[in-house]
Amino acid sequence: MTAALTTLLEHAEHQRDNAQAALLQAEAAVRRLQAQAEQLRNYRDDYRGRHPALGGRSAGIEALRLHQDFMQRLDQALHQQAAQLQASETRCTTLRAQLVAHETRVASVRKLLERRGQQAQVHADRLEQRRSDDAAQNQLRRRDDGAHGSGWRLGAEGVPVAH
């Protein structure tokens, strides 16, 4: 039974380790996406600062249209980036919950193994006590048999007396 529980513990630990590795990868992906989003926002803000008509400058309609189109594409990219980041954060949340479940299972199996070990120890202690008690009784019987066989008998006070 203990071998099966040990195998179960190893399997649960392996699953927990895999869940932990997956979570670490997902968290790294979140950090990458956050950094990319920050770079994209900084680029958009910088590009917005280069507006052709900024500060009362005159600019052609084509330059204004190109600037506005590119700003729209940057905004779309930021929205897409935000959606990817949200999906990645959701994945992290799910993976964290799975990791907690795997850690709980590992702890449960360890606790079960500990209890079974304690039960086995109690059983072994009781068996040893029983053997010790039986050995003491056998020794007492042999001593009593030896005393009766040599011509002695017990008197009223429980003291051996001669025949």
- Domain annotation covers residue 160: no
Model confidence pLDDT, tens digit, residues 3-43:
898 999 999 999 999 999 999 999 999 999 999 999 999 99
Query: Are the C-beta atoms of 43 and 130 separated by less than 8 Å?
Result: no
Structure-model confidence comparison of residues 38 and 147, the more confident one? 38
pLDDT at 160 over 90: no
> Is there a domain that residue 69 lies in?
yes
Instruction: Kindly state whether residue 80 falls inside one of the protein's structural domains.
Output: yes
**Quick count: other Cβ atoms within 10 Å of Cβ 99?**
20
Q: How many domains does the chain have?
A: 1
47-83 pLDDT, tens digit each: 988 877 776 677 788 988 998 999 999 999 999 999 9
Residue 99: inside a domain, yes or no?
A: yes
List the one residue out of 9, 88, 4, 73 whose CA is nearest residue 40.
73
- Within a domain: residue 121? no
HSE-up (13 A, CA, CB side) for residue 25: 7
Q: Is residue 148 part of a domain?
A: no
Residue 69, domain CATH: 1.10.287.1700
Say if 135 falls within a structural domain.
Answer: no
Q: Is residue 67 part of a domain?
A: yes
pLDDT in tens, 90-120: 999 999 999 999 999 999 999 999 999 899 8
Domain assignment of residue 39, given as a range? 2-52+60-115
